[in-house]
Chains A and B, each alone.
Chain A
Amino acid sequence: MPENENYREIEITVFRYNPQDKTSKPEYQTYTLTETPGMTLYIALIQIWSKMDHDLSFDFVCRAGICGSCSMVVNGKPRLACKTRTSEFEDGKITLLPLPVFKHIKDLSVDTGNWMNEMSKNLESWIHTQEETDLSRIEKPVDPAVAEEVFELDRCIECGICLASCSTKVMREDFVGAVGLNRVARFQLDPHDQRTDEDFYELVGDENGVFGCMSLMGCEDHCPKNLPLQTKIAYMRRKMVKVK
């Protein structure tokens, strides 16, 4: 019975598996708990962990939708768990699976860090310039509208949800995904970066890059930061088609 008559009980079913442990077998485990007002999956999972099952693994850091740690599959859709409120599930039944695509660590925990670091390195996610910066001198001016445009794309939190929603990624293991294409578009726009479209073509001008995308746009549908992924992938594709 719920502790407070006004509150309902909810059932959270979690995928359990520890690939490190040879005796572990993949299975579902269901926990029943009382839903409190404003409950998020962060609050629910912390409650399960601290009161019912100390061995449950999952990843939260900021619990505010800022850091991108807690992506998981919630009733079939990849989402940030910290921003998912339990009240939106009318039947009170929620099934949680780890994010696909990434290396599984245990239960709901996956390794996104190493993949994202590799992607960032492969796409050379930094400013390329011949100019030397004298830190004592007044900075280079930037058109405020351009700075805003770059910022818009810089908001990506590498949560991995775009990859988990991507059909191309299922077929092409080395596809850089919307996260990678958005990153390249971000530097292409940045006035500090002196790379040409030819340079960017070297990075994403193939089927693991901008020509791999089948435009199904699962990425844009699920992106928790509402990044303009469709527009930016199309923009990069137009730019890349013109190269050579």
Chain B
Amino acid sequence: MKIIYTDALIVGGGLAGLRSAIAAREKGLDTIVLSMVPVKRSHSAAAQGGMQASLANTVMGEGDNEDVHFADTVKGSDWGCDQKVARMFVTTAPKAIRELAAWGVPWSRIGKGDHTVVINGKKETITEKDESYGLINARDFGGTKKWRTCYTSDATGHTMLYAVANEALRRDVEIHDKKEAISVIHDSGVCHGVIVRDLINGELSAYVARGTMIATGGYGRIYKQSTNAIICKGIGTAIALETGIVELGNMEAVQFHPTPIVPSGILLTEGCRGDGGVLRDKDGYRFMPDYEPEKKELASRDVVSRRMIEHIRKGKGVKSPYGDHLWLDISILGREHIEKNLRDVQDIAISFNGIDPADEGEKGWMPVLPMQHYSMGGIRVKPTGESTTMRGLFCAGEAACWDLHGFNRLGGNSVSEAVVSGMIVGEYFTQYCEETHLNTNTSVIEAHLQAQIDYLAEILERDGGLNIFDIKDEMRTIMQEKVGIFRNGDDLLDAVHQLEDLLKKTKEITVESKSMGNNPGLNEVYRVTKMLKLALCVAKGALQRTESRGAHYREDYPKRDDMHWLKRTITTWPDTADTLPTVHYEEIDILEMEMPPAFRGYGSKDSLIPNPLSAQREEEIEQIKKSLETVNRFTVQEALLDFALPGNLKHKNERVGVGYA
């Protein structure tokens, strides 16, 4: 039996996992990062447009600070997020970006004086302050009050990931790639590590650690059309679910991005619209101002995606062999801007569609359609990042329901969350690993390892004749058609039944190659089985949530219902023999909020069933503010919502012209 011991074990080598590994190494802990792929190939690399942090360097970001970023994030989440976590995040984000700058991320910097930008389809001139020269620049993104999204052209995730990965290498973080965690080792509610399959030779081994972190990203690949990399199958989330103890939060909260390119589904960054690009229909008409006169193309992602589908349903889509789509027009930004700030977008459009988006007029328009993009749901954790129900199991980044994003994530908050949670959760995780002594006996480890050996052998013995690839395709189609952007009770009920049926059918498959070694066919069986469990959590959560909030939109319940649904969906899988998840709810307390639920600013004001506690809390907040009289914003904030951060992370952030105010 092969057992590898370490202090800190991290599953997943994207931004969140690697940044956490750095935190652990800084305290001298032996640290191993497991990854299915070379870490620099992680999906973090695909983040294009940028990272939100309220630096307020650019003139278009003037007046920005933690409070504004907080308000945008809470509104964006449709009040589904944990406001304490949002506060922790916005306070740390400027530090994260400054750390990355010191690590060499070549952030786009502010030039001298006048610049031409495109705002609302028109060219305008902005003038930067002299004292901002050379500081980190920012672009506009959807759902934000200020230009806050910092970037390196449209390869932001790539440059961030390389900097963080190289810093991890510098600190001798051990990276074991081509390794897949397929089960969590746990005993009496405490996590001791994971069972790992070597993807080169199929060998199984146990990685045992004082503390374990899952940072494996999202589960977008349960959908037929997704911008996610093909490794985003949610396996880390699923193995946590399969413990029967770990809770998943808000799995039905799935984001659809407005502008993946058709048909490949490759993302075209929100930066396209942030920089001034517009959406057009089959007549070349810019339709978003009709639906959202204020924010237009830069409304929140969930809103723009729904409006696009709504417009297509009115017969305004462009016909194609791949179904109807709309156009994204960035040609109005000019070739120079595109070739500097949107060059990957240009490369993608040319390589995959033969379209040069810098070509003027129709010729440069790119076909786009909303597709699955981000998983707000994930392993439910406390603000420290530790599982709510299993000690020693931490989770960070997209894999977690921390819960920063509630029911809709703002563009630019994903890579930001990844590094910020790597700093915060990474620190709490490190503390746990330092304080905890390995306390498990080998029989527990052996039993978990043997269970997986038996499981894989049992898969190879199955002989029902079904093909796992067909089951996967069916799952992905069901999710696409019945658990998509617009949802309704009948379809969701169908989806739950069909997915449950598919899960049962996985017992009736036949794998051609009977090798326990390198066997991609075998990989697919255990992965699809895990994906089906996640798909069921998504579908069942969506079926039971009879309201519309953020990205979860029920045509039969179109209102956000703060009276009944201000709560987090919690799914568990108590028994391995279960074919459906168990669902319960975690209340979100309005009376503890810094910013009680209100109208979000999209659509009509009566699309909301308010909770009287909102008004009560508003009142309380007014009283508190009055009682404090004239004090600075930090004192007010502290009086409304208390939050903690490890180390120096709670320190105030300096800004141009205002210092630490």
Contact = CB atoms under 8 A, between A and B. Distances in A.
A159 B160 CA distance: 17
7 contacts: A61-B231, A62-B229, A66-B155, A116-B38, A126-B169, A137-B98, A142-B107
A192 B153 CA distance: 19
Contacts of B187: none
Interface stretch (B296-304, B348-356, B632-640): B348-356
Contacts of A125: 166, 169
A57 B351 CA distance: 24
B102 interface: yes
B475 to A, nearest CB: 13
A57 B518 contact: yes
Given A61-B229, A67-B46, A133-B102, A143 B518 contact: no
B518 A106 contact: yes
Given A59-B37, A116-B38, A20 B104 contact: no
Given A20-B201, A54-B513, A55-B519, A139 B101 contact: yes
A63 B654 contact: no
Nearest to B57: A138
B158 A136 contact: no
A165 B226 CA distance: 33
A126 B108 contact: no
A138 B518 contact: no
A126 B167 contact: yes
Given A51-B469, A59-B37, A151 B266 contact: no
Given A64-B267, A126-B166, A20 B200 contact: yes
Interface in B511-532: 511-513, 515, 517-521, 524
B99 interface: yes
Interface in B643-661: 648, 651-656, 660
A205 B600 CA distance: 60
What 8 pairs across the A-B complex have the smallest Cβ distances? A113-B38, A141-B134, A54-B521, A135-B95, A151-B106, A144-B109, A133-B102, A150-B106
A50 B471 CA distance: 11
Interface of A: 18, 20-21, 37-38, 40, 49-51, 54-57, 59-69, 83, 85, 105-106, 111-114, 116-117, 120-121, 124-127, 129, 131, 133, 135-144, 147-148, 150-151, 154-155, 157-158, 187, 190, 192-193
B655 A138 contact: yes
A54 B46 CA distance: 27
B136 interface: yes
B517 A68 contact: no
Interface in B216-237: 229-231
B518 A105 contact: yes
Contacts of A144: 108-111, 134, 137
B653 A57 contact: no
Contacts of A148: 106, 108, 340
B46 A64 contact: yes
Interface of B: 37-43, 45-46, 94-95, 97-99, 101-104, 106-111, 133-137, 152-153, 155, 158-159, 162-163, 165-167, 169-170, 175, 177-178, 200-201, 229-231, 263-264, 266-267, 321, 340, 344, 347-348, 351-353, 469, 473, 511-513, 515, 517-521, 524, 648, 651-656, 660
B520 to A, nearest CB: 6
B197 to A, nearest CB: 14
Nearest to A150: B106
A128 to B, nearest CB: 10
A69 B37 contact: yes
A227 to B, nearest CB: 12
A20 B38 CA distance: 20
A136 B648 contact: yes
B226 to A, nearest CB: 11
Nearest to B105: A154
A11 B165 CA distance: 39
Given A61-B37, A105-B518, A124-B170, A54 B511 contact: yes
B102 A139 contact: yes
B26 to A, nearest CB: 14
Nearest to A68: B41
Contacts of A69: 37-38, 41
Nearest to B92: A135
A126 B46 contact: no
Nearest to A46: B230
B158 A113 contact: no
Contacts, number: 208
B111 A135 contact: no
B41 to A, nearest CB: 4
A131 B101 CA distance: 13
Nearest to B171: A126
B230 A54 contact: no
A63 B266 contact: yes
Contacts of A56: 520
Contacts of B94: 135
Contacts of A127: 102-104
Contact of B351 (A21, A51, A83, A150): A83
A179 to B, nearest CB: 11
Nearest to A129: B102
A116 B40 CA distance: 9
Given A65-B348, A124-B170, A144-B110, A111 B201 contact: no
A92 to B, nearest CB: 19
Contacts of A67: 37, 40-42, 45-46, 229
A114 B267 contact: no
A144 B40 CA distance: 26
Contact of B45 (A66, A190, A193): A66
B135 A138 contact: yes
A181 B396 CA distance: 34
B201 A65 contact: no
A154 B230 contact: no
A136 B653 contact: yes
A1 to B, nearest CB: 20
A37 B109 CA distance: 41
Contacts of A112: 38
A68 B229 CA distance: 12
Contact of A38 (B153, B170, B263, B656): B263
Residue among A21, A55, A116, A137 facing the most chain B CB atoms (10 A cut-off): A55
A83 B458 CA distance: 38
Given A38-B352, A117-B169, A136-B653, A147 B102 contact: no
B31 to A, nearest CB: 14
A64 B656 contact: no
Contacts of B163: 126
Contacts of B321: 37
Contacts of B656: 138
Contacts of B169: 117, 120-121, 125-126
A201 to B, nearest CB: 20
A125 B110 CA distance: 26
A62 B227 CA distance: 9
A211 to B, nearest CB: 25
B406 to A, nearest CB: 27
A72 to B, nearest CB: 15
